[in-house]
């Protein structure tokens, strides 16, 4: 599920990601699906944006931390088995704003085809 964030500045975007992560940690009863829906339908689309993808709370929390800390990929200790350390399908040159972070970061880029 996507958690969409937007803000007027990069620091504000990081602060939003941090605040959302803290809110999810503080209230385990919050359903991430409801949070995703609310973010998508009630928030303004401002200049600086990030989309965090995850199938559940356990996947979303580290992804929100990555945005809050301005990391583009999970740290090496958090990489998925078999993921290479080199350029990936979600490198900043392949993603608008370089802000997307998702579980398949680190997978090899396609060898051919349109970008």
pLDDT per position as a tens digit, 81-98: 444 444 444 444 444 444
Please check the confidence at residue 31 and state whether its pLDDT lies above 80. yes
- How high is the pLDDT of residue 77? 43
- For residues 68 and 115, which has the higher predicted lDDT (pLDDT)? 68
CATH entry, 2-98, from 2.60.40.1930, 3.30.1330.10, 3.30.70.3290, 3.30.70.1560: 3.30.70.3290
Please check the confidence at residue 1 and state whether its pLDDT lies above 80. yes
- 70 and 97 in contact (C-beta within 8 Å)? no
Please check the confidence at residue 26 and state whether its pLDDT lies above 90. yes
- How high is the pLDDT of residue 79? 43
DSSP assignment of the chain equals: -EEEEEESSHHHHHHHHHHHHHHHHH-TTS-HHHHHHHHHHHS---SEEEEEE-SSHHHHHHHHHHHHTT-SS--GGGPPTT--SS--TT-GGGSGGG--B-TTTTSPPPSSS--
Q: What is the pTM of this model?
A: 0.62
């Amino acid at each position: 599920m996507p958690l969409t964030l937007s803000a007027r500045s990069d620091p504000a975007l990081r602060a939003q990601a941090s605040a959302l992560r803290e809110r999810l940690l503080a209230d385990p009863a919050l359903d991430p699906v409801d949070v995703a829906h609310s973010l998508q339908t009630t928030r303004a689309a401002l200049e600086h944006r990030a989309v965090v993808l995850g199938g559940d709370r356990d996947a979303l929390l580290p992804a929100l931390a990555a945005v809050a800390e301005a990391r583009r990929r999970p740290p090496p200790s958090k990489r998925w088995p078999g993921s290479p350390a080199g350029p990936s399908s979600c490198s900043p040159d392949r993603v608008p704003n370089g802000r997307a972070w998702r579980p398949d970061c680190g997978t090899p880029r396609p060898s051919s085809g349109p970008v």
